Amino acid sequence: MRGDIMYSAFDITNYFLIMADEDSGELLSNMKLQKLLYYAQGTHLTLKGTPLFSEKILAWVHGPVVSEIYYHYQDYGKTGIPAPEPNVLPEFDDETLEILEDVFTVYGQFSAWKLRDLTHEEPPWKQTRNRDEITHQKLKTYFETQVTD
C-alpha cells in the first residue's frame, strides 16, 4: 500500500479488467467485476488486516456491489467491459499484487452468475439487509474461515 492510503476500487477494477483481457480474451461484466472486488476486499482484510480500498461494499439483490463502480460501468449492461491501458495502474506492493492474482485465479474462472450464487450463500451478504453496507468486520470474520496464508 502507499503509506496509509488505500487503493481505490477503480485501481482494483482496472487491474481485474486488464487481467481478464490479457489472460483469457474474455471481458468481465459489471456483475463479475463486483464479485471480484468483494473477494479481493475480504481476502485483503484477512491477510493484511486493512481494507484494500475505501469504497463501501453494499448488499444488493444480486450480491455484493461497490456502487461507484457499478454506476460507472452500468452502460455496459451484461456485456464485457473493455480493459484500460496498463499504464493506469498504480504500483501495487508485492503482497497486494499476490492477493489480487490469487483472487483472480480462484474466482476469475467462474461466471458472473456462479459468483453471484456463491456470494448469496456467504454470511457477509446473507446477514446484511438489502442496500446496507457489508461491513469490514463481517468480511473479515467470514474470510478468516476461508483464507489461508
Tens digit of each residue's pLDDT (9 = 90 or more) over 65-98 = 999 999 999 999 999 999 998 898 999 999 999 9
Inform me whether the pLDDT recorded for 131 exceeds 50: yes
pTM of the model: 0.94
How many Cα neighbours within 13 Å face the side chain of 24? 15
The grid cell for 30 is: 459489471
Instruction: Over range 127-136, report the average pLDDT.
Output: 97
User: pLDDT over 70 for what percent of the chain?
Assistant: 93
Q: In this structure, what are the phi and psi dihedrals at residue 146, rounded to the nearest 5 degrees?
A: -110, -30
List the Cα angle 66/130/14 in 5-degree steps.
Answer: 10
Domain ranges of the chain: 9-143
Give the per-residue pLDDT at 149.
64
Q: Name the pLDDT band for 3 (thresholds 50, 70, 90).
A: very low
Give the per-residue pLDDT at 24.
65
